[in-house]
Amino acid sequence: MKKVLSGIQPSGQLTLGNYIGAMQNFVKLQNDHECYFMVVDLHAITVPQDPAALREQSEAVATLYVAAGIDPAKANIFMQSHVRGHAELGWLLTTLSYMGELERMTQFKDKSAGKESIGTGLFVYPALMAADILIYNADLVPVGDDQKQHLELTRDLAGRFNSRYGDYFTVPEPYIPKIGARVMSLDDASKKMSKSNPNPGSFIALLDPPDVVRKKISRATTDSGREVKFDPADKPEVSNLLSIYSHCAGLSIEQIEAKYEGQGYGAFKKDLAEVVVSVLEPLQQRYREIRESGEIHNILRQGAERAAAVADQTVRDVKERMGFLLP
């Protein structure tokens, strides 16, 4: 079975974007791949996090993985920080990386733009991401557009290590999902829906109560027309809402366009809200059950134990090849 690795940062409340773009694919992949799905808390601290919020969001993300259908019997679910090898291999790979290649990372440029003091963690984070992937010798990494450059760096670092110290790492491939779109922000369709956006009206959180979802969708920005038509160039906002509708209802864009022909945005948005609520309500119910049971702590412990068995061996092999005196 091919190995798949992915993770989500506990840097805010998970959004419908994380669900459609990442978690739905995780659920599919777990059936015929060896999967490692982490909560990447070491990545989240590359920007300042409130400690209490970080702890709460970490538990919430792990619980939402399970509530969304990731089965701990099929996939390894764990906190990145519970497997120490990530930080250790991250450092070893940082020493193989060059300033120039890290400076070229567009996510670093975006996240540091206009800031007076820029954290070093934000700068070297792609080497940690490379470690996350290489530590399990993952074959496939589900990535959005914004992460393709980081995966390219991972491939370069794997190749550099292999040529310096002998073939060891699998050079991973990006996994481009069959389904899964980029969900855009509700207030600005030129930006992706993001959990760390300071405007909560810009995203639908997976744990938003139904009335909040209804309000956010009714207030979502649209153009001044009334035709429900998929046209990302001229109608980016309506196209984004159509795409969300399509993913949540399992209908094609054409079917939805036909359904709302001549009806204007009001009826479309009202139904869209109910479609989204019908996806979120059962997920929220499972979330509450898992949270109340306290079961997530066992799931995370077992996931970390299984992951560490692989990760510890990789770190040992890498250190041996690099010339460390082993204990």
The residue range among 11-19, 155-163, 171-179, 306-314 that interacts with ligand AQP, by the rule CB under 6 A, is 11-19
Binding letters toward ligand AQP, positions 194-233, x by CB under 6 A: xxx-------------------------------------
Q: Which of 3, 4, 5, 12 binds ligand AQP (CB under 6 A)?
A: 12
For the CB of residue 198, give the shortest distance to ligand AQP in the complex, in Å. Answer: 10
Q: Which of 4, 17, 92, 268 binds ligand AQP (CB under 6 A)?
A: 17
Which residue among 2, 28, 74, 111 is the active-site one?
111
9 belongs to the binding site for ligand AQP (CB under 6 A) = yes
Count of residues that interact with ligand AQP, criterion CB under 6 A: 18
Active site (annotated) includes residue 111: yes
22 belongs to the binding site for ligand AQP (CB under 6 A) = yes
For the CB of residue 106, give the shortest distance to ligand AQP in the complex, in Å. Answer: 12
List binders of ligand AQP among 72-111 (CB under 6 A): none
| 315 touches 325 (CB < 8 A) | no
Extract the tokens encoding 295: 């079961």
For the CB of residue 163, give the shortest distance to ligand AQP in the complex, in Å. Answer: 29
* Residue number closest to ligand AQP, CB atom: 21
- Contact residues: ligand AQP, CB under 6 A: 8-9, 11-12, 15, 17-18, 20-22, 144, 182-183, 192-196
Active site residues: 111, 192, 195
